[in-house]
Structure formats: structure tokens, C-alpha cells
Structure 1
């Protein structure tokens, strides 16, 4: 007796991952046009053609959608910085390039699409997890650079390492935090060059 063949059931509709990506892509465009603060989940639902309830199946709030967008943009900045300092053996030059790349990438990504600045500003003011991860990543880069400079004899070793790293980060902060960077865009390029030189003089053995 021949056993009847049962066809493999086919998945209907896009996968959850594809839907999430579609929502994020549409939200990025919508926020870029109307601003994050002025947009509601209902607005997004109408723009995408989904029901509000369907969007809540994938994201529990508007902030959750904004968090993904913010994380994507901060990730792009971190990639740009990592590429700028890759294969640069000298710690002083690495620090210069790090600072320069941070300001250039941050200025472009935060302010090229001006409406998306709302997300950056909100995430910074409310300390979203993506911002914390971004800051932690930068502090690790500074820490590794200072440590390498000390091991190579390019930087002084008397000041406690954590104190040095925190001080450098505080000098950089007005030019890498979006809430502060908006007030420093006009002189950002010149300031990063001068501040990098100041930091490096203070690190000299």
C-alpha cells in the first residue's frame, strides 16, 4: 500500500525578522520626515499599512522602535571609529583619529537627517540602553589606547589609569554627545584638533 505524500507546509507571509526590519525601516523614514516626538505608533501603523496591534506584536512601545534606530546609528558611528583607528600602531595618532572620526561621523549621522536628531536627543537625555552601550564602547577604546601608550612609553604612567580615561572622555563628551554637539558644530573640527593636542601634551611622559 502506497503511503500518501503530505506536502511540506509553506510559511505564509514574511518572517518575524522581516516584519521587524520593515517596521524599523518605515519608522526611520517617518521619523526623518516628521520627527520622533511628534510621531505616534498610530501614525506609523497608518503609514506602514499595519494595524497598531500588529506593530505592538513586535515592539512594546514607540521607544522600543526608536531604540533600534538609535542603536543602528550609533553602531554606524562605532564602525567608522573602529575603521579609522584600525592598524594604527602609535597610540597618540590613534587617539587623534578616534576623536576626529567620532565628531565627523556623529555630526553627519545625527544632523544629516535633521528630524532624526530628535531620536538622538531623546535617547541621550533619557539614557537609553543603546547610548550606554555606545559610551561604554568608546571608554574601552580610550582605555586600550592609553594602556597601549603607557606600555610603549609614549604616555605617562603616574596618574591612575581610570582617572586618565575618565578625564579624556570628559574632554571628548561635548563633541560626541548629541545634546552637546548641536551647540559645538561650528567649531567642532578646530576644537577636536586643539583638544587632541592638549590631551596628548598632558599624557606625555
Structure 2
């Protein structure tokens, strides 16, 4: 996971070819995003994309080595945007305790809006998780870095305890939030249930962090 010059979160994606800022590459991603959202990732082929754009499949392969590479680029784009928004919303809070509450709540709300309200996009993200695409791992890494930064801020201000190893604390919090950030876990419960759950989990996290 890295940050661009505009301070946005950019997630990794494999199988990318050619210049990243090429107009045709951006057009392919735009059309692929529309096709995946309308018809689903599994049902869309590279031939479908070439027909929709009006170019040959060989030309698409100048920028991506497979349909998976296109899918990874789409996932990297949408999850990177979500991670950037989550980080910015969390940064607006004035204390580490408030940052933690904002992080857990917004992680749920942003994830739910993206995954649950976009059924075809949900399918694409599930494929990314099931097939262990590097974009899915990059998203989890971004969440982990945000959690770690909040805990470090709380330790510096005296809000959080300092005895437990930082890596253990960050990992435990991230694991506790899986039901509220992981698409397959979220789809089994309503948003109201998820909100009640994440509030209770956040309360427990903050009690465990108290000095």
C-alpha cells in the first residue's frame, strides 16, 4: 500500500501493462467498471469489453494481461477511494478515542454502502477475497495501518495503555472488526444489526485500551 502525491491511498494490483495514465487504459477501466456493475465480473468477458469499447481484445491485452488484471485494477480503484475517505473522516476527530469511534463506525458505513448496495460490485470484491488478489490484501493492510496510527496517537496522548505490544493490539482490533468490514460476513445481517454490533465492539475495544 502506498500513497500518491495527492495523498490518496493507492492499492496494489497485478498484471498491469503499459503507461498507467494512458487515455485508452482509463477508457478500458471505465467501461469495465460499468460492465462489471451491470452484468457481474464472472459473466463479463474481455471480448465483451472489446465490443463495448470498439477495439480488439489484443489491444486490451496491451494494458492488462488478463480479465483478472482488469478486475484487480477496478477493485484497487474503488477500495482505494473508500480507504482514503475513511482515513480523512477519521483524521477530522480531535482525540484518539473519537478517532477510534469514527473509524469503526465509518468503516462499517462505507463498506456497507459499497458492498451491500452494489450487488455486482459485491461479487467482484468477493472474488478478490476468495482468490486472494493483492488488492484485497492491500485493503486490509490499509485498514491495519489506520488502526495502528490511532492506537499510537492514543498512547502518545495518554488515552490508551502502553504495555501490550502495539502489533498485537492493532491485529486484535482488526480481527474484531472483520464482521463489519468483510463482505461475506456483512451480507448475513441488516445494517441496524451491524451498527448495534460495531458500537458494542467499539465500546469493548476502548475499555481494553484504557490505561
Shorter-normalised TM-score: what interval?
0.7 to 0.9
Counterparts of 2:158 and 2:189 in 1: how far apart (Å)? 33
Aligned to 2:206: 200
Aligned to 1:104: 109
Pairing partner for 1:136 from 134, 141, 161 = 141
Larger radius of gyration: 1
Shift >2 Å, 4+ stretches: 183-186
Counterparts of 1:17 and 1:31 in 2: how far apart (Å)? 21
Aligned to 2:153: 148
Aligned to 2:42: 37
For the 8 Å contact 1:175–1:184, the answer to whether it is kept is no
Q: CA deviation at 1:184?
A: 3.5
Cα pair distance change 1:16/1:153, threshold 3 Å: closer
Counterparts of 2:118 and 2:208 in 1: how far apart (Å)? 37
Aligned to 1:188: 194
Cα pair distance change 1:146/1:173, threshold 3 Å: same
Structure 2: any 5+ residue segments left out of the alignment?
1-19
> SS at the partner of 2:73?
helix
Cα pair distance change 1:141/1:16, threshold 3 Å: closer
Q: CA deviation at 1:41?
A: 0.9
Cα pair distance change 1:185/1:68, threshold 3 Å: farther
1:55 has 2:65 as partner: no
Structure 1: any 5+ residue segments left out of the alignment?
1-14
Counterparts of 1:160 and 1:35 in 2: how far apart (Å)? 43
For the 8 Å contact 2:93–2:102, the answer to whether it is kept is no
Counterparts of 1:121 and 1:70 in 2: how far apart (Å)? 10
> SS at the partner of 2:65?
coil
For the 8 Å contact 1:125–1:179, the answer to whether it is kept is no
Counterparts of 1:104 and 1:151 in 2: how far apart (Å)? 28
Instruction: Out of 23-32 and 75-84, give the one that drifted further.
Output: 75-84
Pairing partner for 1:87 from 66, 86, 92 = 92
> SS at the partner of 1:57?
coil
Pairing partner for 1:124 from 106, 122, 129 = 129
Counterparts of 2:137 and 2:75 in 1: how far apart (Å)? 11
Aligned to 1:20: 25
Cα pair distance change 1:16/1:93, threshold 3 Å: closer
1:178 has 2:183 as partner: yes
Q: CA deviation at 1:112?
A: 2.3
